[in-house]
Amino acid sequence: MRRPPVPAGCGRDAIERCLGAVAGVSSGPPAVGRKHGVDMKIVEFLRPELVLDELKATEKTAALREICSFLASRDASLPPEDQLFQVLEEREQLRSTGIGDHVAIPHGRFSGLERLTAAFARSREGIEFVGTDDNPGLFQHFIVVFAPENSAGLHLKALARITRLFKKPELREAILAAPDAAGIYRIIADEDAKS
């Protein structure tokens, strides 16, 4: 599979890890999103009501379950919570989706899903999570992405966009300081519009 070029100014190693984590999936036409060659924006698949301002969970499995429950309760087009969690758990067993810098992008694909959907969750205290470098650490930013089964290109673009934006320390710090979910979404949307 040919990998798309790494955008200028991005951490090549983080993007390569992100893209490598989903390499080998079959390529198909994107079900939704912008035309080929145009940068995707996070606000295309992350809606304000899908931002969880503070996770109650204190460990990885519970955090993934909490995010799946939150997402399933707010988006009726998604499979049930247990199926969401199972896909994330299976993906984590293949390789961690922690990309470093306190950021994890748990993700998976479903047949029958009509569009790319994401949820964002924050943990100010941090949750023990192993990064792609196999080093454990406290992760504070979780962006969970679910994509249609036949949308490998779209899925990769979304992961690359998230990776590029969340490599910015000022964005991560602003999110941690945000007072609520609306504030978090506004910070992400503003940064998304800049680049």
| Residues annotated catalytic, as ranges | 107
Question: How many residues in total does the chain contain?
Answer: 195
Taking the C-alpha atoms of residue 135 and residue 141, their distance in angstroms, rounded to an integer, is 17
> From residue 91, how far is each of 77, 105, 184 by CA, in Å?
21, 11, 26
> Residue 10 is encoded by which pair of tokens?
């991005």
Taking the alpha carbons at both ends of the chain, their separation in whole angstroms is 27
Taking the C-alpha atoms of residue 42 and residue 188, their distance in angstroms, rounded to an integer, is 8
Q: Which residues of 56-90 are buried (b: 16+ CB within 10 A; e: fewer)?
A: ebeebeebbbbbbbbbbeebeebbebeebbebbbe
Q: Are strands 107-110 and 136-148 parallel, antiparallel or unpaired?
A: parallel
> From residue 166, how far is each of 47, 72, 89, 120, 187 by CA, in Å?
17, 24, 23, 12, 12
**Which single residue is written with the structure tokens 């983080």?**
14
